[in-house]
Amino acid sequence: MLESTKRGIVPSARSDVPPFMVMDVMAAAARLEAAGIHVVHMEVGQPAAPAPATALAAARAALGGPLAYTEALGIPSLRARIARHYGERHGVDLDPARVIVTTGSSAGFMLAFLTLFAPGDRVAIANPGYPPYRHILTALGCEPVLIETTAATRWALTGEALIAAHRERPLAGVLVASPANPTGTMITGEALAALIAAAEDAGIRFISDEIYHGLDYAFPAATAAQVSARAVIINSFSKYFCMTGWRIGWMVAPESLVRPIERLQQNFAISVPTLSQIAAEAAFAGRAEMEAIKHGYEDNRRILVEGLPKAGLDKFLPADGAFYLYADVSRFTADSQDFAQRMLAEAHVAATSGIDFDPLHGRSFIRFCYAGSRADAEAAVERIGRWLGGR
């Protein structure tokens, strides 16, 4: 064998992104379960329930026919249905031509970043935040700029903080999520409008990750579409509609970006999986079923918000939406990764360390996902109480 062949292919520097640590917790939980131990799973951010029955029925029916490529921007009737959703939920008259169907919101980020930014561009994101924002930006040669959020602003990114960072060195864009992952916090409609106005006045492009819309408990989530036709909105069927594995989402883009995004999608993917598009359109008819599931999350949220302080975890961010509770564990540890590992090994409750989400203060936090059953939420509170009580 040639010496050069033995050495293998050296991966590019831009592919050198960090792993998602939650996967390590999942693997450790699986090892305990293989040994016959019952684990309460609160580590992975996904619903336990399946897609709405309407979506499943539509998918079953579609399996009988050909599943051909679709238009790159998505099946027209699905794009029209998504546009209608903005009228129904938010009173916004949205042109279906601005709706683009994507392979989950994850593909939406890539398409948005590629059409909005050039290599070297600086893009602001809130810290803590969803790790792939940073990692996709880095892989595309952009620079993620972390802006700290604190209790003083209800953990929301503000126009003042954004403009202060822009003055230091110009920003090309900003990405905001409400409800957010990992914090579960939300930004009010007024605060969102003020932030978008500040960004647009300064020429900073605005991306709104609205993937947890529909899962709002504290107050109704506002969409950037109510405020601006220039913002790029990213959304998904993964969370509210319980369709993570179907890999389907959507974007709402300003008119001038639709054709560039279409060209990228044609080349990257041709089109989004047809079966998932058909199921997604039918999912809108399953809202009553999804509302019942949302009520289950609300119950779980109440059980944790009331129960965790009694169990010893009395410091956490306002659990406004999504299905996350972000707890400060600095009273117990300086290393939340170690805390999560011990909580799993000793109390058999799996949660995620904040270090995935916050390179600065993540060692003080852990994230609980309460998208499971009521029994899971109750068992978590009971087990954590016993564990912390016995330390």
Ligand X SMILES: Cc1ncc(COP(=O)(O)O)c(C=O)c1O
Q: What residues line the site for ligand X (CB under 6 A)?
A: 45, 104-106, 130, 177, 181, 209, 211, 236, 238, 244, 249
- The minimum distance between CB 359 and ligand X, in angstroms, equals 17
CA–CA distance, 36 with 199 (Å, rounded to integer)? 53
Q: Is 104 or 214 the residue whose CB approaches ligand X more closely?
A: 104
- The minimum distance between CB 324 and ligand X, in angstroms, equals 9
Q: For 137, list phi and psi in degrees, rounded to 5.
A: -55, -45
In 3-state terms the chain splits into helix, strand, coil percentages (rounded to 5) of: 50, 15, 40
- The minimum distance between CB 181 and ligand X, in angstroms, equals 4
- The minimum distance between CB 23 and ligand X, in angstroms, equals 13
Evaluate whether 157 touches 182 at the Cβ level (below 8 Å): no
Q: Is 192 or 311 the residue whose CB approaches ligand X more closely?
A: 192
Cβ neighbour number for residue 55 with a 10 Å cutoff? 28
- The minimum distance between CB 104 and ligand X, in angstroms, equals 3
- The minimum distance between CB 208 and ligand X, in angstroms, equals 11
Q: Is 98 or 367 the residue whose CB approaches ligand X more closely?
A: 367
Evaluate whether 219 touches 187 at the Cβ level (below 8 Å): no
C-alpha closest to that of 180 among 191, 171, 169: 191
Q: Is 316 or 323 the residue whose CB approaches ligand X more closely?
A: 323
CA–CA distance, 385 with 307 (Å, rounded to integer)? 9
CA–CA distance, 258 with 76 (Å, rounded to integer)? 14
Evaluate whether 153 touches 317 at the Cβ level (below 8 Å): no
- The minimum distance between CB 103 and ligand X, in angstroms, equals 8
DSSP state of 335: -
Q: Tell me the residue number closest to ligand X, measured at CB.
A: 104
CA–CA distance, 386 with 391 (Å, rounded to integer)? 9
Q: Is 132 or 309 the residue whose CB approaches ligand X more closely?
A: 132
Q: Is 147 or 197 the residue whose CB approaches ligand X more closely?
A: 147
Q: Is 192 or 381 the residue whose CB approaches ligand X more closely?
A: 192
Q: Torsion angle, CA of 72/78/83/86, rounded to 10 degrees?
A: -130
